[in-house]
A and B are shown apart, each in its own frame.
Chain A
């Protein structure tokens, strides 16, 4: 739990995220299906993030082993979409969740 996420660059408090970074869902945060309401959620202390299908696709690939580049490659291939655009979107999404303390850089 001592690994800080803000050691790799600082853009106004938002950690700069690199393609070689490995991101994980830390203990105390859980990704699960929400059958009662439909869709998937990220559960964190006193907070529930309702995920859209895209966020769900990204987060189910966050396993603490694959780096950001590998996740982006996988998404680009699965959805036959331009890699550059996916990288921008996924990077912004992951950085936002890191700022909210629900994801960590390993």
Chain B
């Protein structure tokens, strides 16, 4: 439990992280079939207590983290959310609340704002009640979100609208742009689903056809140009039809870390899908120690771990080898080249898989806790 500040002078030290995703809970009133939480969800009794989170925020600020994303599950299901926001503010951390917006009263929103909350990111699952509530599997959710968005801007907090895009709502992108403008959002995130965990189980229901993906990319680009200065549009691009891999997390263990509800510290939210990685917990190690020394963070840092073809590639410090979880899922080996790369021997296979999945007609497997408690 010692952050050893003097050790920071050492030249072999990793540059500090900029952002931290704090997954406060896996509990959530929504059941989105592409949820980024692991298929095996943590239960309430396993969650870190208030004091431990506050210590983690203090250590994060000391380490050099600038922004904290308070996420979940639904972070507002934590009764101590105000105290956690206040802790971020106390340590100078920029706090971003990532919420479904269906369970925060006006009084609570004001309390969060008073505690020093910097920004609200509200998820919408679609641009209409019908699509939104079907994907979230929660009747009435859309209307609650609209009311919440109005209160966020009324309280004076800046609002981002976030929507995960897939086959069922891809056609609503222009409507999502209009919705963001109508709700007074300053920023819109159009994030194509990433196929790990729950989304991987739901590929047959979610994967969009190639031509629709390409059309959507053009639409987003045009809207971004048109609305410059009015609405910032950020896009998380779909990579399964691409030729080059995405620089996943801007490189493993380079800029950000993720703390799970039970206190495990991960280089990315899906990292637990990779077998054999040793993750350290904030209950046993200081955050700075974990960032510098935990085996999971050092496993794929830099370029030394890369296959020869990647090490010799001029894009090795642009793509950072792409996504480790995707390499594992599609090749069975996390140290392989990301199969999205056109130089990968698996490249054809991933594209064929996507085309097949896009033509299937599966039902959603909604995100839920397993019936039998562990």
- Which A residues are within 8 Å of any B CB, using their own CB? 1-2, 4-6, 13-15, 26-30, 32, 34-37, 41, 43, 45-46, 48, 98-101
Contact = CB atoms under 8 A, between A and B. Distances in A.
B202 interface: no
Contacts of A13: 225-229
A34 B19 CA distance: 13
14 contacts: A1-B153, A6-B229, A13-B229, A15-B229, A29-B158, A34-B64, A41-B66, A45-B96, A45-B121, A46-B189, A48-B18, A99-B229, A100-B232, A101-B187
Contacts of B186: 1, 28, 45, 101
B63 A36 contact: yes
Given A26-B158, A37-B16, A32 B230 contact: no
Interface in B172-192: 184, 186-187, 189
Contacts of B18: 48
A88 to B, nearest CB: 20
Interface of B: 15-16, 18-19, 63-64, 66-67, 92, 94, 96, 118-119, 121, 153, 156-158, 160, 184, 186-187, 189, 225-232, 234
Contacts of A43: 66-67, 94, 118
Contact of A30 (B118, B229, B232): B118
A2 B184 contact: yes
Given A2-B184, A30-B94, A34-B66, A45 B229 contact: no
A26 B227 CA distance: 19
B14 to A, nearest CB: 11
A13 B233 CA distance: 14
Contacts of B16: 36-37
B67 A28 contact: no
A17 B234 CA distance: 25
Given A1-B184, A45-B187, A46-B160, A101 B94 contact: no
Nearest to A100: B232
B164 to A, nearest CB: 15
A97 to B, nearest CB: 10
A37 B65 CA distance: 10
Contacts of A5: 229
Given A28-B186, A100-B232, A101-B229, A48 B158 contact: no
A36 B91 CA distance: 13
A13 B305 CA distance: 45
Contact of B96 (A14, A26, A46): A46
B157 A27 contact: yes
B214 to A, nearest CB: 25
B71 to A, nearest CB: 12
B229 A48 contact: no
A13 B212 CA distance: 28
A34 B17 CA distance: 12
Of the listed residues B15, B64, B228, the one surrounded by the most CB atoms of chain A closer than 10 A to its CB is B228
A-B interface, 8 closest residue pairs, ranked by CB to CB distance from nearest: A36-B64, A28-B158, A13-B228, A43-B94, A99-B229, A36-B16, A45-B119, A28-B119
